[in-house]
A and B are shown apart, each in its own frame.
Chain A
Amino acid sequence: EIVLTQSPGTLSLSPGERATLSCRASQSVSSTYLAWYQQKPGQAPSLLIYGASSRATGIPDRFSGSGSATDFTLTINRLEPADFAVYYCQQYGSSPRTFGQGTILEI
């Protein structure tokens, strides 16, 4: 199974700053089947990015994804208070689908 390792574990930033989150795969993720999710306390995850770089419906362009093969990045520009949450990467190109352990983005 593909193991996803996210870094950093916790990222402390302020509103208005830029966040850069990393996701590294133990083997190549086929066809960039890599997604990013945001999860706020007490809520289900929500899809941000799929196909490594495509924004899901309604996601502002402050959120961008990049990368391929084994290295992927989620960038959030001009952080807003609502952005502070936990972020997970996921590969869905092979079974079992796997998630990273998450990055906590805190103020």
Chain B
Amino acid sequence: GIQVEQSPPDLILQEGANSTLRCNFSDSVNNLQWFHQNPWGQLINLFYIPSGTKQNGRLSATTVATERYSLLYISSSQTTDSGVYFCAVEGNTGFQKLVFGTGTRLLVSP
């Protein structure tokens, strides 16, 4: 099945800093989502982005499907950005299911 790798596994930032999280995947996809999991376990949808670029406030994401990677950009980070960021992909061949990466744990300190 499709493989998903996220990097870095852990990231510590000062408030106000910018960061880039990466997601590599092993096959062509028809779904790619970025999520933020808060300390209570809730998965919050950030982007549905199987290809192209999207922006939402301080967050933006780019997926280059032909090169099998996606990037999540966080600008001017805030302490509320802390948590785990997951990339999840669904391949467009075989069984249709969302496969999650192992996540990037982000800590933003004041």
B and A form one assembly:
no
Q: Which B positions have Cβ atoms within 8 angstroms of A?
A: none
- A: residues with CB less than 8 A from B are none
